Amino acid sequence: MNPTTQAAIAREKHRVRIYTTDGWEIQGEVSIPAGGYNARLSDFLNSPALFIALTNSVVYGKDGKQLTQESFLSVNKQAIKLVIEESETAEESLATEDLLTVR
């Protein structure tokens, strides 16, 4: 795929928490193609790429203390032990509850 085509693909940002094999926790955003092929986080993680690009990242050490905050971070997939997709924000949850409430 050429760079022009790649830039035109719509993407969605997903907040994730990554736990590494050495005990670090990394919180950040991954950019995943919107809809269609490879639109799920699991598809993204199972792609042949060796690294995962994260933006707006915070890294915590084994003791839970913040080590660094980075606008871009690349994580080797071999160092990943667990990935958790963050749920919707509290405001989004409340809005959803309001829509589902029977009046």
For the chain, the structural domain boundaries read 3-100
Return the closest-CA partner of residue 50 out of 26, 86, 79, 76. 76
Residue 13 has pLDDT above 80, yes or no: yes
Q: In angstroms, rounded to a whole number, what is the distance separating the alpha carbons of residues 33 and 21?
A: 27
57: β partners: 70
Whether the CB-CB separation of 30 and 40 falls below 8 Å is answered with no
Whether the CB-CB separation of 33 and 10 falls below 8 Å is answered with yes
pLDDT at site 16: 95
DSSP E strands in 1-103: the ranges are 11-20, 25-33, 51-60, 66-76, 80-85
- Rounded to two decimals, what is the model's pTM? 0.73
Percent of the chain with pLDDT over 90: 52
Kindly report the CATH number that applies to the domain delimited by 3-100.
2.30.30.100
Q: Identify the burial level of 75 via C-beta atoms within 10 angstroms of its C-beta, where 0-12 means exposed, 13-18 middle and 19 or more buried.
A: buried
Q: Residue 3: pLDDT band by 50, 70, 90 thresholds? A: low
